[in-house]
Structure 1
Amino acid sequence: MAKTIATVRAIAVSAMVLVSSLSPSNSYAAPQPGCEGRSLIAELSLKRPAGVASLLENARQAENSQAILWRIERHGISPSYVLGTLHIAHPSLQELSPAVTSAITASRVVALEQEQLSRGAYGHVMAQAGKLMSARDKPLQRMLDDSELRVVEKAIAAAGYPEDLALGVRPWVATLFLAAGCPNVTHEPMDLIVANFAKSQGKKIVGLETLLEQFETLASIPDEAQAAWLRSSIEMNDRADDVTATMLELYKGRQISASLDLMRELAPNAGLTDARMQDIRHGLITARNVRMAERGLPLFETGGAFVAVGATHLPGADGLISILKSSGFSVTPVE
């Protein structure tokens, strides 16, 4: 997990995927000596073997789940590409594959979830987003017990803020603080690696969303779902590096759509009901798919675009690849 809205590492297995693009200053945290995690899938499989096996198999069979790099084509225009990234910094993700670098080199424009990945950009948006983040009715004091509230206070203090800030923020903000990444960051997240390579090739870089829009999306999740999401990150607070390792296994195994469901398995006491999971899924993934598709379609229609977004935005009937198919494009898995 990590602490920033430019790239939060994984908050609970689901937030790892999307919110990873939404957090403050240590978002590029990477495993350091003593901080290596281990995947929790084997542990979960021992506790509930049939359920977890079904969950993983469904993710493997999900529509458009077999690849993270796709070629997007339409007669008469240059091919474009879509890459599903993982918003964490990890040693095994520090090099782009030859297929990815070739696709970027051949493209005229590169689109990321957001154009500005810097801490400076985050600070600018913070000044605009205060009303989305703050709450006068002390919601965390109402929603959490004393021990849970103490976990949040410690995370806020570790980030360099007064711990009583916890009494004045909404649950989604507290969730972003629950990131205990290791110090002495030396690695970069995939999105930044893509951006840096694109810049080295002289490519134009654009964003499909703004940081403020991402804040607004998180703030729009109903409070009850926000609270359950926060409790899940509190429940997994001591196993942040294990959550990262779990996310990495899902990504490499092309089972990324299982991340939200595994969040509930990892935090069974958080109150993640079906309705709350649906609200979280809509806010983190589905609603953003629509927005990113609307802004990406003109790029694909012109051709020669390379689009990199979180991998959970690609699979499923409401994923970006399905949206592109329904828009008349031919899609081909590359790797």
Structure 2
Amino acid sequence: MPKKIAILFTMLLLACCQALFAAGLSEPGSVVHRGQLYRVTHDGKTSYLFGTIHVGRDGFYPLDPVASRALLDSKALVIELDIRQDAPFQLALARHGRYLDGDILQNHLSPATLRLTVQALARAGLSLQSVQHYKPWLVANLLVGAEMEVHGFQRSQAVEYALLAAAKSQDKAVRELESADYQLSLFDTLDERQQEQYLLENLADLADGVSLKRSTALIDAWNAADAPGIRAAWQSATSGDTISAGFMNRVLLGKRNPEMANNIERIMMQEQAAFVGVGLLHLMGDDGLPQLLRKRGYQVEQLY
């Protein structure tokens, strides 16, 4: 089961994407943009900020000529996490996503929530026993990832794998903005009540199709560089009084964006040119990375 979780958290091997993006260059004549791309300049140095998504499917690669050229011209690739490294993820998973000392999920959910969880697991082809040592937030994320896989979206084809394959073929340095331990620790900050509610909200969204609709809306918007669609997906993910929306707005974006901006600034001072790939939603809003960098005196131009 740890291998399955690792797949859903983008911890697969790099090989599957190397054939798609081995040279880091797009096919001649390609005109389709994906995501968002910004040019960031400061003190005579030019870097790039690119919005990614953490799943993919056939037809997403190679990236367009503008993004490909920006990566080729950069000295280093900067991503949230080097997802080729499985060992740090497994350690973080054991520390933050599992119950210890024989404790199990059944001890932390109400009978009603447990019943709905068992039903959702069965629909995903999983048993309660296979996940009973996982915390509710991890079970929720597992089920969402499993649904995406059923509909053809693979973590193993995440944009980060394509970028890493290109960086390897171009012999570029790879820098991380965060660590697996840090990323998983954020979910572990939810208390027991919040974790159960987070699970319940995701179970409800899975049951009525909202989860798939929301995910595919973001993916489709990324795939077409559809700015209004991307903004609508961001607003959907961060609006409302749910635990999920509050956590996204307050922690996954609100807490991490300033920290990412600090690390990006540090790396850009060290590198002559860096290509920074981060989740697309980190680029959105007044507290998104482009705006935060502008406030720090960087010139930030959106290329598409």
Match of 2:98 among 128, 134, 155: 134
Could you say if the C-alpha distance between residues 130 and 148 of structure 1 is closer, same or farther in structure 2, counting changes exceeding 3 Å? same
CA contact (8 A) 1:113 1:208 kept: yes
Unmatched 5+ stretches in structure 2? 17-34
| 1:269-302 deviation per Cα after TM superposition (whole angstroms, max 9, x unaligned) | xxx7256632332222221212222211122234
Is 2:282 the counterpart of 1:313? yes
| DSSP 3-state at the match of 1:328 | coil
Structural mapping, 1:216-255, within 5 Å:
216-237=185-206, 239=209, 242-251=213-222, 252=224, 253-254=226-227, 255=229
The equivalent residue for 2:128 is 163
Between 1:85-94 and 1:238-247, the stretch displaced more is 238-247
Rounded to whole Å, the distance in 1 between the matches of 2:282 and 2:155 is: 27
Structural mapping, 1:116-265, within 5 Å:
117-118=83-84, 121-135=85-99, 136=103, 138=106, 140-142=108-110, 144-154=112-122, 158=126, 163-178=128-143, 179-180=145-146, 181-182=149-150, 188-237=157-206, 239=209, 242-251=213-222, 252=224, 253-254=226-227, 255-259=229-233, 261-262=235-236
The equivalent residue for 1:12 is none
Match of 1:325 among 268, 283, 294: 294
The equivalent residue for 1:289 is 257
What RMSD, in angstroms, separates the aligned Cα atoms of the two structures? 3.5
| 1:210-257 deviation per Cα after TM superposition (whole angstroms, max 9, x unaligned) | 111111112123444433332232223364654442222333322334
Could you say if the C-alpha distance between residues 5 and 193 of structure 1 is closer, same or farther in structure 2, counting changes exceeding 3 Å? farther
Amino acid at match of 2:41: E
Rounded to whole Å, the distance in 1 between the matches of 2:187 and 2:75 is: 32
CA contact (8 A) 1:250 1:258 kept: no
| DSSP 3-state at the match of 1:283 | helix
After TM superposition, the score normalised by the length of structure 1 is 0.69
The equivalent residue for 2:268 is 300
CA contact (8 A) 1:152 1:166 kept: no
After TM superposition, the score normalised by the length of structure 2 is 0.75
| DSSP 3-state at the match of 2:62 | coil
Rounded to whole Å, the distance in 2 between the matches of 1:304 and 1:184 is: 32
Match of 2:37 among 49, 66, 69: 69
| 1:13-55 deviation per Cα after TM superposition (whole angstroms, max 9, x unaligned) | xxxxxxxxx45669x99xxxxxxxxxxxxxxxxxxxxxxxxxx
| DSSP 3-state at the match of 1:72 | strand
Query: What is the deviation of 1:305?
Result: 0.8
CA contact (8 A) 2:40 2:298 kept: yes
Is 2:75 the counterpart of 1:108? yes
Rounded to whole Å, the distance in 2 between the matches of 1:106 and 1:24 is: 27
| DSSP 3-state at the match of 1:93 | coil
Percent sequence identity is 19
Give the length in aligned residue pairs. 270
Unmatched 5+ stretches in structure 1? 9-21, 30-66, 266-271
Could you say if the C-alpha distance between residues 274 and 149 of structure 1 is closer, same or farther in structure 2, counting changes exceeding 3 Å? closer
| DSSP 3-state at the match of 1:256 | helix
Query: What is the deviation of 1:331?
Result: 0.4
The equivalent residue for 1:62 is none
Could you say if the C-alpha distance between residues 152 and 184 of structure 1 is closer, same or farther in structure 2, counting changes exceeding 3 Å? closer
The equivalent residue for 1:61 is none
